[in-house]
Structure 1
Amino acid sequence: MSTAPRAILITGANRGLGLEFVRQIVCFSTPPKYLFATCRNPESATILNEIAKSHSCVKVLKLDVCDFSSYKNLKENISTMLEGEGLNLLVCNAGIFNRIGFEDTTPEMMTAMYTTNVIAPMTLAQTFAPLLKLAAQKLPEETKSWRKATILNMSSDLGSVGMNDNGGCYPYRASKAALNMVTKTQSIDLKADGILTVAVHPGWVQTDMGGQSAPVTPTESIKGMLSVVSNLSEESSGRLFDFEGELMPW
């Protein structure tokens, strides 16, 4: 891949897979003009800020995805920087995880997981849909969907009902299953606006969330996911893929 979308927004960009997204995207031979890298505490995002110093396209912005009251100002700020152009790719990466089982799951855990992993991506999509639609309108002949208008929702194999053979992880599984439904439904409702959506399982990755015993490196995971989203078509919109491009069961 040599040419990135013109404008990209990534949540949870200060560490893990979000940070690796930034690392790889800025290395494209034609990087984006704007890479909005958001996180809760930009002042402590040391590595992300170092990347931003070396790559002028990276704009580090504050966003707590659970602070829904801040979404409007963020959208207006980004819209101003885009100067009448749209947003081409929204990467809903920020999420939380736990391995809580049946007896230990509480309503508070379910609510927190659902808020971060489902309500936040849904609300972000609603907030930035006008900018995604604008991007699609400005590039009607573009064949690469991610350079046009695409939403990437970070899912998980643990959200697949068809693949659940082990049980456990109730709050996380339920939230990712719900996110999969959001993705599928968005693909239908946003199709007329030229916006495609995809849910991607990043693999079991060596991050703070996945642990160092995981078999997949962040480099491998993000390289694969970028390949998936860059080759997304109308026919594959609204599907769940793994990071290697394999279609997964709901």
Structure 2
Amino acid sequence: MQNILITGANRGIGYALVEEYLSQSDARVYATCRNPDDAAALNALADANPDRLRILQLDVDDEASIARAVGAVAYDTDSLDVLINNAGVSGSDSGRIMGQLTSAEVAAVITTNAVAPLIVTQACRELLREGDNPRVVMISSGLGSISNAGGSAYAYRMSKAAMNMAARVLAFDEAMAGTISVTIAPGWVRTDMGGPSASLAPEESASALLTLIQRLGASDNGRFYRYDGAELDW
């Protein structure tokens, strides 16, 4: 049985990934979110899958919270096969629009979207090294591509570009330990962040993401993919 840790699992793509893992694979899922008591749908899933789904409180911006959550996983198991760093924020207009930018908002988005996944991964490092074909997946965005950059969304674009770099460096540093590190853009998804006009349902994106994650091997280490497996430009 695979051990999977997913951050930001209470809604959107994270929640859909939990559903996909529970329905399609033999996996034990550790689903994390900031406020588990408010995650009604996730709690209902846990009630229906008590042996395969555990919900953990995790605020990715709080290193003590990260340590507690990963400690709880380590208490249950000595290995982690897949870490999906999905938690993220888009930020407010003070992180998006030239003329309204504030250093506090830009820094906050970068901390949550780029720094936090790196610290979560570091906390999971030893568990991953004991995993079966261990994989670290950074849920990124096409907006993080420098080659294809457009206008506005400064903080979000910067944060995802930084996340991409973190995954790329991690791919070098952990290669000898056998850990595969990739970034994947999930597509334009109908979530609170993506909005109602987005082209993909969370379930569609999650299904494709799971297919891609399950087939990842050493040759994929350090690459940047779209949810459907197409490779993206940095």
Question: Above 0.5 in TM-score?
Answer: yes
Contact 1:35 1:58 (8 Å CA) reproduced? yes
Partner Cα distance (1:233, 1:77) in 2: 28
Aligned to 2:147: 162
Query: Residue type of the partner of 1:52?
Result: A
Aligned to 2:199: 215
Partner Cα distance (1:124, 1:114) in 2: 15
Aligned to 1:201: 185
Contact 2:143 2:157 (8 Å CA) reproduced? yes
Give the superposition deviation at 1:183.
Answer: 0.6
Aligned to 1:77: 72
Q: What pairs with 1:29-40 in structure 2 (closer than 5 Å)?
A: 30-32=25-27, 34-40=28-34
Deviations 1:180-201 (A, max 9, x none): 0001110010001110011000
Partner Cα distance (2:116, 2:104) in 1: 17
TM-score by length of 2: 0.95
Query: Residue type of the partner of 1:115?
Result: T
**Is 1:63 equivalent to 2:58 in the alignment?**
yes
Partner Cα distance (2:64, 2:48) in 1: 32
Aligned to 1:143: none
For residue 7 of structure 2, the aligned residue among 11, 28, 32 is 11
Contact 2:57 2:65 (8 Å CA) reproduced? no
Aligned to 1:152: 137
| Count, aligned residues | 230
**Is 1:134 equivalent to 2:130 in the alignment?**
yes
Post-superposition, which runs of at least 4 consecutive aligned residues in structure 1 deviate over 4 A? Answer: none
TM-score by length of 1: 0.89
For residue 110 of structure 2, the aligned residue among 114, 119, 136 is 114
Partner Cα distance (2:203, 2:134) in 1: 24
Contact 2:59 2:66 (8 Å CA) reproduced? no
Aligned to 1:105: 101
Query: Residue type of the partner of 2:21?
Result: I
Give the superposition deviation at 1:75.
Answer: 1.9
**Percent of residue pairs identical:** 35
Partner Cα distance (1:233, 1:87) in 2: 16
Query: Residue type of the partner of 1:229?
Result: I
Contact 2:225 2:232 (8 Å CA) reproduced? yes
Root-mean-square deviation (CA, aligned residues, Å) is 1.1
Deviations 1:15-72 (A, max 9, x none): 11110001111002x421x210001111110000000011121001101111112222
Contact 1:198 1:229 (8 Å CA) reproduced? no
Structure 2 spans left out of the alignment, 5+ residues: none
Partner Cα distance (1:31, 1:157) in 2: 31
Give the superposition deviation at 1:73.
Answer: 2.2
Give the superposition deviation at 1:231.
Answer: 1.5
Give the superposition deviation at 1:223.
Answer: 1.1
Secondary structure, counterpart of 2:160 in structure 1: helix
